[in-house]
Chains A and B, each alone.
Chain A
Amino acid sequence: METLKANAQLIEKKRLKHAAVYVVADSPQVAVVEALSTYIPIDQFKEVFNFIAELVAKEKITKLVFDKRNLTVFHQPSMEWYFVEWKEKMFNLGLKTHRKILPKDEVFRQSVKIGREKINSTHPNGKYKLMDISYSESIDQAIAQ
């Protein structure tokens, strides 16, 4: 499984079994979260993103790159919490730019699409709609874009 651990431009902030958090050395306002396994259990997912929330508050993070390339299983309840609760709080703290790197797996990509549509229909007025969210193909592109 590929990992960003060896990437020289990233400084590791936290490592759990299924996810790791970094900040970019040259751009400390950019944080990167990397999925380390095919699936992140919801408790660990929340633990990681709550840690990022602390980082956003302490280190004035304004951009988050979520590298999902190792994931194969999409978990809608985690995504709903991430979009509706977590992103809402982060918006108020100044984190408004999100870049995502998806796996090549078409099943996962389609699941993301279905999940987003579901969230859009159930939470049409969420603050996530005011954020700059887009997809990238590599970590360098995601950081630069």
Chain B
Amino acid sequence: MVNKDPSRESQLQEKISDLTVLLEAELLNLKSDHCSELNRIKNACVEGIELLNANFEKQWSNFNNLHLKRVLAVEEQVIYLKELHKSQRLMLEDYLVYIHELENRVKDSTSSSGKMT
């Protein structure tokens, strides 16, 4: 036999309703905490990534500058060595002209001394 006391049933219904409200409020709280925790984690991750990115960009820029400096130094050295090579060649040519002049002087002096004898 089922107890069909209407006041008890309404009490129960009311209690269930209160509990449902409480449960919903708790669920809402949980959801909001979870969201803020997720946001916190997301922000921390974004900050970390931004920091890593900035560090990477800085290192990349430093490396690029260093590389550029080395390339320029090598280019400068190549230009210097080319000019040095040209100058040495010029020096050698002047030496050859000088040697030819000396040879001609020797030839002239031997031919003139030959004529005299």
Contact = CB atoms under 8 A, between A and B. Distances in A.
Contacts of B90: 75-77
Contacts, number: 31
Interface stretch (B21-29, B37-45, B81-89): B81-89
A39 B94 CA distance: 17
B80 interface: yes
Interface string B59-90: 00000000000000000000110011001101
Nearest to A108: B91
A114 B84 contact: no
Interface residues of A, number: 14
B95 A39 contact: no
A39 B85 CA distance: 10
Nearest to B93: A76
Interface of A: 38-39, 41-42, 73-77, 110-111, 114-115, 118
